[in-house]
Chains A and B, each alone.
Chain A
Amino acid sequence: MLAWTIYISFFGALVLLLLPRSSTTLARIVAMLTAVTGFAIALIAFVEHRSGELQTIVRADWMPTLGIQYHLAADGISLCLVLLTGVVAITGILFSWNIEKRTKEFFAFYLLLIGSVYGVFLSYDLFLLFVFYEIVIIPKYFLIAIWGSTRKEYGAMKLAIYSFVGSAMVLVGLIAAYVVAGEHSMSLDALAGFAFPVHFQMWAFPLVFVGFAILAGLWPFHTWAPTGHVAAPTAASMLLAGVVMKLGAYGCLRVAMTLFPLGLAPWGFHFLGLGSWRDVFSLLAVIGIIYGAMVALVQKDFKFVIGYSSVSHMGFILLGLMTLNTIGLEGAIVQMVSHGILAGLLFGVVGRMVYDRTHTRELAALGPMNLNKAIPFAAITFVIAGMASMGLPGFSGFAAELMILLGAWHAFPWLAVGTGLGIVIGVVYVWRAMQKAFFAESVTGANHPPLEPISFPERLGAGILIACSVAIGLYPQMLTKVIVPALNSPLFDGLRKGGWQ
């Protein structure tokens, strides 16, 4: 059943391509129906999921001579992210309801992207996972290059090349692992169960980890993220920050860390005070948190603020992964969901509600428009999203960052303190952007044409995302009760033995 999330999205894309060129409304409706169906399937699966179970969805021979299978399966972690994808997909369509240029192609690429994202989260065979992972690159390139703004072709190409370089690194690692393990299978559990030699894991782990982490915005490989997000059309930046970056983080956990747990072990020597890849990546993650926040603090372009904030928030995820304790990993996964929702919301406000109306993203230019009076709904939504994003309690961001910080206290007390600094700066940049964009002192005499009011689809989209964030914030149990058993499954045995209490 869950596999239909993938098929239905691809099918929807195909249907869209076959529609006559003029039927824009129909295209929107088809896309919406597809996304809603996908989400409904995901939701049913999530509700029916029995904690701790790895639910095999499809398992069929694909390339029997190579031991590669068409194997889809879902555990709690995948389900959370599949659900997130469903939510972001729906709201992304709501926020792009007004796209008039080549509408059906837009939604076709959009659904192709969604389908592949579902595919990555549900793949249990690593070959299959990689296939979906690479498919993602293409639609996102075109979504940005065709429908984007501000240096769109540059941003799109940079994103595509970074992603492709990252996936090339992953491919090297996967091929090597597959060959070393004897070419019997690419199945996750088979490879995770294979005892790779330590020296092999020592180079394969960082390779694959960084390969995935490029897409997760790991500092210093994050530079695609701000430019890509800024160039992308609203729905694409929502997806990009909302789910595509999560693909990277998911890959880090699912593939790199699961396959090569010994890659995290100490090197046996110290270099600049760093004693293992774990130290290196956690340090990079914290640098990312602080650096992203500091750069966001000085941006003039509203969307760049959000773009860099994504880098900062993704740093939390990577830090959570590196803590290697249940609570940190749990926090990382909750943060994936939380940031997916919040980044979607923030980009929705900035890209759709503000930019599409004012046609500028310069904070200095937005200020005099007195947006908090012109489009109060946008202002309120941004305030709420900003609060959630800075980690105010009661929203999903707090629950996630709390868990990550707890994990970090266990693992790297120093870095936990550094992370605190990142949180403080996070508060400052959100409020700065908010003030400059929505609450700046109005210049008397400046006359601006009235802005188009916020439409119903936008209100609905914002409402859905806020509701999700609050729901997770108030009741994180909803996610953690499926995540924890998944983390305790035999799949993560290797990681658990590698130092995770």
Chain B
Amino acid sequence: MSTSYLQLIRFALPEVIVVATALLVLVVDLLLLRKQSLRTRFAMTSVLAVVGCLSAIASLVLAPSLGSLYGEMFLANPLVNFVQIAVLALTIFTLLLTVDSSFTNHVGEFVFLVLLATTGMLFLVATLDLLVIFTSLELLSLSLYIMTAFDKENARSSEAALKYFLFGGMSAAFLLFGFSILYGLSNSTSLLQIAASIHGVSPLLVIAIVTTVIGFGFKVAAAPLHFWAPDVYESAPIPAAAFIASGSKVASFFVFFEIMAVGLAGASGGAAWLHFTNGWVPAVAAVAALSMVLGNTVAIVQSSVRRLLAYSAVAHAGYMLIAIIGHTQQNLSALLYYVVTYGLATIGAFGVIGVVERQTGNDRLDSFNGLSRRAPLLSACLFVFLLSLAGIPPLAGFFGKFYLFVSALHATPGSSGLLWLVVLAIAMSAVSLYYYLQVLKRAFVTAPSVEGEMLPVPAVTQAVVAVLAFGVVLFGSFPNLLLHWIQSALAASGW
């Protein structure tokens, strides 16, 4: 090991900045802000954290490092940088939503955990090594478990966290088991090495594939491993839920894609209709199909908006898995575009839910009655987010789907191999319009239960939500802004 620590720090500068900010936040909150009101503490710590994340982004933009360290353990290339920036940006939005919160006394700890989770994600996406993947994934997961439980006055929050933790622990065990088999098969933890030694499918590899898919299926909340999601989405504090639904999705999907497309490229198999061939593709295809169908149909009967979003997240995970099934470069760019814009819309939606919840005390559909009369701008933003999730042009969600499906069809020779999945996905997204419209119907059609009363909307939340909505419209109308970036990053990173 000839690399100096300086070089390592230079290489992992964003991670270092985030960790340092995390510690700073903890210290500042403990030492300086104890006496302040809850509001001030949330505001101060969040702003501090935002500044930290911004500097991390700045370091990525202004002084991007390239190359790799310790084999593929630490990787820095434009693609990784892009994903890292995306993760940091989503973290910033989550933190800004925290500014107006009041769900806990342990402000510093909460923000600290957010930043720690972010660190986990930054490492997670910057590696091609199973060991680092596993450890950073655990860092991320543990932070998320705790964040979920942070609302101590809400018993359901703890319950959800426990559920999340138990399922998460089990899936981590599966994942580790799978990784160990891969290591056994290839005698290496580097994905590139593994790829070099896997040609065709062996029984042992099948076990590895199944356990890996289970592990990541849990992370991305794909059916049938989604059971934690509705509870967590429903009961976690708003910022935590938004974070789980956005940033962690980006990182998990990216890594999942890398493991499958890079590490297991030799055992992909095929999922063309009636021509399934052995490998991980049919397994993921089954999970994807199940997720789309189950997520969309179960979402219809929800009366809690957060649970509705949870099931819709299952469905979206299904769509995104199609990109993994295709596993070409184009699929990756489609996946990244999709997951980032999905993250923006989801955080925005949670932001709106947070405001409504604070006033009415719950997130039932009825609480949204007449929202357009009570908070016109907020409801306009909700309109944008939900329709983007439904895939209505010109919003980002539409182009995301369009590009995702185009690239999926393109991925197989003859263009018709994955057609059945694409047809299923498009059919299911038609179903999804129904439940998104259910929410919007409450907001725009139904009369408010109390006439004439305006909803107090915190300025910061309002601004964040508006910016997110603008982003969704902007990226939807001009997808090239994001797409061009992704594609050039991909091209520059040797994909």
Contacts and interface: CB of A to CB of B under 8 A. Distances in A.
A109 to B, nearest CB: 9
A173 to B, nearest CB: 10
A171 B428 CA distance: 13
Interface string B457-495: 000000000000000000000111001100100000000
Contacts of B393: 130-132, 134-135
A65 B330 CA distance: 11
B192 interface: no
B437 interface: yes
B409 A176 contact: yes
B368 to A, nearest CB: 14
B441 A165 contact: no
A125 to B, nearest CB: 13
A183 B437 contact: no
A449 to B, nearest CB: 28
Interface string B408-435: 0110000110010011001101100110
A172 B416 CA distance: 11
A274 interface: no
B103 interface: no
A66 B410 CA distance: 12
Interface stretch (A141-149, A321-329, A330-338): A141-149
Contacts of B427: 165, 168
A135 B479 contact: no
Given A62-B480, A179-B415, A135 B392 contact: yes
Contact of B402 (A135, A157, A161, A175): A175
A161 B429 CA distance: 10
A409 interface: no
B434 A161 contact: yes
Contacts of B402: 127, 171, 175
A131 B437 contact: no
A153 B438 CA distance: 10
Given A138-B392, A161-B434, A175-B409, A153 B445 contact: yes
Contact of A66 (B403, B405, B429, B441): B403
A172 B426 contact: yes
Contacts of B487: 65
Contacts of A62: 478, 480
A168 B429 contact: yes
A175 B433 contact: no
A145 B434 CA distance: 13
A171 B445 contact: no
A66 B422 CA distance: 19
A164 interface: yes
B433 A164 contact: yes
A168 B426 contact: yes
B96 interface: no
Contact of B479 (A63, A132, A134, A164): A63
Contacts of A135: 392-394
Contacts of A169: 426
Contact of B433 (A64, A130, A145, A160): A160
Contacts of A175: 402, 405-406, 409, 422
A260 B394 CA distance: 26
A283 interface: no
B387 interface: yes
B398 interface: yes
A392 interface: no
Contacts of A157: 434, 437, 441
A179 B409 contact: yes
Interface in A71-128: 105, 127
A159 to B, nearest CB: 11
A176 B480 contact: no
A137 B429 CA distance: 14
Contact of A142 (B430, B445, B484): B445
A146 B398 contact: no
Contacts of A165: 427, 430
A64 to B, nearest CB: 7
B444 interface: yes
Interface in B366-413: 372, 387, 392-394, 398, 402-403, 405-406, 409-410
Interface string A338-374: 0000000000000000000000000000000000000
A171 B426 contact: yes
Interface in A147-203: 153, 157, 160-161, 164-165, 167-169, 171-172, 175-176, 178-180, 183
A289 B272 CA distance: 41
Contacts of B372: 105
Given A141-B437, A161-B430, A165-B430, A65 B419 contact: no
Nearest to A169: B426
Contacts of A137: 392, 433
A146 B426 CA distance: 28
A175 B407 CA distance: 9
A199 to B, nearest CB: 10
A64 B480 contact: yes
Contacts of A134: 392-393, 398
A168 B445 contact: no
A63 B483 contact: yes
A65 to B, nearest CB: 6
A224 to B, nearest CB: 13
Interface in A28-76: 62-66
Contacts of B415: 176, 179-180
Nearest to A135: B393
A146 B480 contact: no
B387 A138 contact: yes
Nearest to A174: B402
Nearest to A127: B402
A137 B419 CA distance: 25
Interface in A418-459: none
A413 B286 CA distance: 50
Given A135-B392, A138-B392, A63 B426 contact: no
Interface string A290-313: 000000000000000000000000
Nearest to A141: B437
Nearest to B330: A183
Given A131-B393, A157-B434, A179-B409, A65 B483 contact: yes
Contacts of B444: 142, 145-146
Nearest to B383: A138
A180 B405 CA distance: 13
B243 to A, nearest CB: 29
Given A134-B398, A165-B430, A168-B430, A178 B406 contact: yes
Contacts of A138: 387, 392
Nearest to A200: B416
User: Which of A137, A165, A179 is most buried by chain B, counting CB atoms within 10 A of its CB?
Assistant: A179
A175 B406 CA distance: 6
A171 B401 CA distance: 10
Contacts of B422: 172, 175
A200 B8 CA distance: 55
A132 B393 CA distance: 7
Contacts of B480: 62-65
A65 B478 CA distance: 12
A304 to B, nearest CB: 23
User: Which of B394, B415, B419 is most buried by chain A, counting CB atoms within 10 A of its CB?
Assistant: B415
A146 B370 CA distance: 11
Nearest to B401: A171
A17 to B, nearest CB: 8
Interface in B97-118: none
A272 to B, nearest CB: 26
A164 B437 CA distance: 12
9 closest pairs, A vs B, by CB?
A: A131-B393, A168-B430, A179-B409, A145-B445, A168-B426, A165-B430, A164-B430, A164-B433, A179-B415
6 contacts: A62-B478, A157-B441, A161-B434, A176-B409, A176-B416, A179-B410
Given A145-B441, A165-B427, A176-B415, 11 more contacts: A62-B478, A66-B483, A127-B402, A137-B433, A157-B437, A160-B437, A161-B434, A168-B430, A172-B419, A175-B405, A178-B406
